[in-house]
Chain A
Amino acid sequence: MEEHDPALASRYPFTSLGERLIESEGLTEKDLAYDPLLEQSRRHARGRLLSAVGGGLYLDDLYLPPLDAVATYLIVRLVSSWIGDPFLNRLVAEHESKRFHRLARDEPIHVLAWLGGELGAAIRLDGERAWIDISSYLRAAAGLGGPRWRLANRDVRSGQVLVGRRELARLLQELLRTHLLEPTPRPSLSPPLRAIGTEVTRRLEERKSSIQSSRPSRQALPPCIERLVEKAERGENMSHQERFTLAAYLLRVGWSVDRVVDLFRSAPDFKERVARYQVSHIAKGGYNPPNCETLRSWGICVEDCGVKSPLSYGRRGRRRR
């Protein structure tokens, strides 16, 4: 049975297989910090954390023996909880889930079904496809852009959604990401692990200051625009209407074409030339972002701020401050 394949614990250390391994080996924080046999786990954990901060993807440790893989994962989680920075948590969750997807996308469907169960989803196989319970589907798909993921375009019956194998792997990536974002208590760490933490913190601060200098304050953004900015930054797929709204708004409040183009850079289908052409077209046309009523009908409006246009929200917000 797959569930007992030790290689699975190595690939998916966050599962109950990993937990059982920790228990049977009696692995403690002191072991993780000092055991000379776990030196390579500490090295890889450091690599993974730094890679998360730097926006890369660390794959040097894909095929470690199960215990080392589990230890590496544990160190990553302990150190990031110890640092306790929400921005870092997001980066780590992003990085770990991407790494997960690298492995999961090639798994047979029954392994994915097992992983889904480990991540709290109820999954029923249907040939080469699977039914996933609607709450888990919604939790996962909420972070995914594009009409393909919208419930209204899917086969959904009695609280279950039908998905293909690759889609399931993608949904599980999201479930793992949200799972990793759940708050954890701050552990106490021994010096060797704290040293990793200190180094990661320093890199994190560098990254933060470079972001801050390149981006204006976001204090007065209306909630709909705020959400679009986040979507763009997370590299989620955005509809044409969403892109237009965001670009027109930002240009109106004084962003340069370059800066707006930069914002779209994380989009999966980003093409510099196309984006630049579209954004400067909007800039030249002097378009206003659509008014709230239109945004409401496009499903872009997030809450009723009591204004007629997102632009007036900005004005009011700024005056208040």
Chain B
Amino acid sequence: MNPLRAAFREYYALRSRSIFVPRIDLREIMMVTFDGTVIRHVSVKNLESLRAMLAREAPRHAYYSVGLYERPAAKSMAEKGLKGAEVLFDIDADHLGVDECDYGLAWRCKSCGESGDGAPPDACPKCGSRDLERLDWLSEGCLEAAKREAIRLLEILESDLGVSGDELMVYYTGHRGYHVRILSERFLGLGKEERRELASHVSGLSFDPEEVFYVKGSVLTTPRVDEGGWRGRIAREMLQLLEGSSGGKTALPSSVAERRGELVRALGEGVPLINPTRALVRDLRRMAEEIVQARRVRIDEMVTPDTSRLTRIPNSLHGKTGLRAMALSPDELRDFQPLGDAVGLSDDQIRVFTTAPVPRFRVKGESFGPYEPGVGVDLPMFAAALILLKGRGVIP
């Protein structure tokens, strides 16, 4: 057996008790094996069967549905009979536009095997082929950025939607992101449009500064600090800016500084502001927009409305890293270190032959690399798995 698959199997044999899926009998399960076979439309009665199945198949990827179905194993959505679906938010570091996420980027030519650092060039410098593979990597900075989004998401879900604690499920995907599911009964029945609305709420997409700084005739209504949602967040942050700037530290637009007293009363007590200048309205709206931009949660908006999604089974292994898709409590999330805490594979030594450059990396507190392409190195399984699954090495 492929030593990698053997390592996955060992994990599922030893750690199967950590695998769990709430309401398992209503879920669709999907797996992708190491030889690329997709096993779909599977349902299992209970956790024991799921754990046994994982230990038997030792799949490369294992997923479960956000949907709860009457007949989860049916082939089509119509036959499955959707009873409800958890609300899913997907945070993927690839969408964050963070430089750290390009750390260790490399490429390899699919025709001749040539490889190099950085983004793939237009054509292979050696053989001229245009069939080049882009190879990404994991970096702590990138994963931190994703984690910060997840933490902000949880804050918004708690303050605005009133969901917290065991109404939520949070987990590291095992790769470059986080998933958050709302489990509470009262959200299960939401339709596509309603989910889209939730997505554009947390991502600030549907925020409109003209609504929040609302002008009617000569009266400007502002948000107030004791309000909830984006209105309250904006009011509180603006009030801080106004009060903090009294010493002249922060530069406020002059239109705003001139009316500071009135604005403090508007934001603090909801006293409408009379005869605002055009410049004032414009500047306030721009400031509000900036606050939302800085605090919005950059989720993948296409994911949330879709009730037919599947995500990784909690604590199963991710087939691109060998890391665990770890279920976390909101408290655990804060101190969570993916490249240490989510290691699930053993430290048995294995020899790997690199086929592309491998950057310097740290797993479980140990440093590895950098390695040139074409060298053999002996590594613990958890580090070797990363190189192998990221397509930068083979087992000789």
Binding site for B on A (CB under 8 A): 133-135, 138-139, 141-143, 147-148, 150-160, 162, 296, 299, 301-304
Contacts and interface: CB of A to CB of B under 8 A. Distances in A.
Given A138-B190, A151-B206, A157-B160, 15 more contacts: A139-B190, A142-B191, A142-B197, A150-B197, A151-B198, A152-B206, A153-B208, A155-B229, A157-B162, A158-B159, A159-B163, A296-B302, A299-B196, A299-B205, A301-B302
6 closest Cβ pairs, A-B complex: A159-B162, A157-B228, A158-B162, A142-B193, A147-B208, A150-B206
Contacts of B302: 296, 301, 303-304
A134 B301 contact: no
Interface in B189-234: 189-191, 193-194, 196-198, 200-201, 204-208, 210-212, 227-232
A27 B281 CA distance: 61
A299 B197 CA distance: 10
Nearest to A153: B211
Nearest to A138: B194
Contacts of B198: 138, 151
B296 to A, nearest CB: 9
11 contacts: A135-B190, A139-B194, A147-B206, A147-B211, A150-B197, A152-B208, A153-B208, A156-B161, A159-B161, A296-B302, A299-B196
Nearest to B201: A151
B186 interface: yes
Interface of B: 159-163, 186-187, 189-191, 193-194, 196-198, 200-201, 204-208, 210-212, 227-232, 292, 301-302, 305-306
A154 B233 CA distance: 11
Contacts of A160: 162
B186 A135 contact: yes
A63 B305 CA distance: 43
A310 to B, nearest CB: 15
A122 to B, nearest CB: 9
Contacts of B231: 153-155
Contacts of B206: 147, 150-153, 299
A139 B194 CA distance: 6
A138 B197 contact: yes
A159 B160 CA distance: 6
Contacts of A303: 302, 305-306
A134 B229 contact: no
Contacts of B229: 151-152, 154-157
A89 B193 CA distance: 20
A299 B305 CA distance: 12
Contact of A142 (B187, B194, B227): B194
A135 to B, nearest CB: 5
Contact of A150 (B186, B191, B200): B200
A54 B228 CA distance: 43
A135 B187 contact: yes
Contact of A299 (B159, B200, B210, B232): B200
Nearest to B212: A153
A134 B228 CA distance: 13
A157 B305 CA distance: 22
Question: Which of B161, B190, B232 has most A Cβ within 10 Å?
Answer: B161
A143 B191 CA distance: 11
Contacts of A143: 193
A157 B163 CA distance: 11
A235 to B, nearest CB: 16
Nearest to B164: A158
Nearest to A298: B205
Contacts of B210: 147
A152 B204 contact: yes
A305 to B, nearest CB: 11
A139 B197 CA distance: 10
Given A147-B210, A301-B302, A155 B200 contact: no
B159 A157 contact: yes
A156 B228 contact: yes
A160 B229 CA distance: 10
Contacts of A159: 160-163, 186
A160 B230 CA distance: 14
Contacts of A301: 302
Nearest to B206: A150
